Amino acid sequence: MMLIPCPFCGKRNESEFIFGGAVGADRPDPNSVNDAEWVEYLTVAPNPLGPVQERWWHARGCSEWVTIWRDTRTHDIVEAPDDSE
């Protein structure tokens, strides 16, 4: 069970959180993308071997949606990679 850092509550057990998925691309303007781009946005989630940005909801805590970077190889909570936005 991981320890997830919440900006309000500090490091808390993973069991207090609900997983919210990997952070993908920003939602495009649905009226200005083609079908393929829209489907890509909806269905292709990042799944790297290494750091991935993801969201966790502190549901059994302060209700904050926490955004972290997690290394999928080690479960380490890591700093944002240099080339991330």
Partner 1 sequence: MTQNNRCASGGRIDRSRTLRFTFNGKSYEGFEGDTLASALLANDVRVTARSFKYHRPRGIVGHGPEEPATLVELDGEDASGNRPATTVPLRDGLSARSVNCWPSPEFDIGGVNQLLSRFIPAGFYYKTFKWPNWHLFEPSIRKAAGLAAAPAQPPSSGHFEARHAHADVLVAGAGPAGLKAALKAGRAGKRVFLADEDSEAGGSLLNCDLSIDGQPAMGWVEAAVLELRGMANVTHLQNATVWAYREHNLLIVNERNPDQGSIIERSWRVRAGEVVIATGATERAMVFSNNDRPGVMLASSVQAYFNRWGVIPGKRVVLFTNNNSAYAVASDLIAAGVRVEAILDSRSCVPQAALELVPEITVQSSTVVGDVRGHKGVKAVKAVSSSGSVNWIECDLLAHSGGWNPTVHLWSQSRSTLRFDEDLAAFLPYQPVQNCTAVGAAAGQLTLDQIIDGGEELAYEIEPLWRVDLPGQRGKAFLDIQNDVSVSDVHLALREGYDNVEHVKRYTTGGMGIDQGKTGNINIIGTVAMQKGVPLQEVGTTTFRSPYTPVSFGAIGGLREDSVLFPYRHTPVTQWNKDNGAVMYEAGARWRRPGYFPQQGEGLQDAVNRECRAVREGVGVYDGSPLGTFELKGRDVPQFLDFIYSNMVSSLTPGNGRYGLMLSDDGLILDDGVVFRLDEHRWLVSTSTGHADSINQHMEKLLQTEFPDWQVMITTVTSQWNNATICGPRARDVMQALGTDVDLSPEVFPFMSFRDGTVAGFPARIVRVSFTGELSFEVNVAPRHMAELWAKVIEAGAPFGIQPVGSESSHVLRVEKGFLSLGHEVDGTVDAYDLGMGWAMSKKKTDYLGKRSIQLRREGKATRRELVGILPEDHNRQVPEGAPLTPGGRKEATEGLVTACVWSVVNDRWVGLALLKNGHSRHGEIAHVRLKDEVIPVKITKPVFHDPDGKLLRS
Please give the residue ranges that form the binding site for partner 1 (CB under 8 A): 1-3, 14, 18, 20, 27, 29-31, 35, 38-39, 42-43, 55, 57, 59, 63-65, 67, 74-75
Q: Which of Zn ion, partner 1, none is residue 2 near (CB under 5 to 8 Å by kind)?
A: partner 1
Q: Which of partner 1, Zn ion, none is residue 38 near (CB under 5 to 8 Å by kind)?
A: partner 1
Interaction with Zn ion in 18-37: which residues (CB under 5 A)? none
Interaction with Zn ion in 54-73: which residues (CB under 5 A)? 58, 61-62, 64
CB 5, CB 66: distance < 8 Å: yes
Tokens standing for 19? 């997983």
Buried b / exposed e over 34-72, threshold 16 CB at 10 Å, is eeeeeeeeeeeeeeeeebbbbebebeebeeeebebbbee
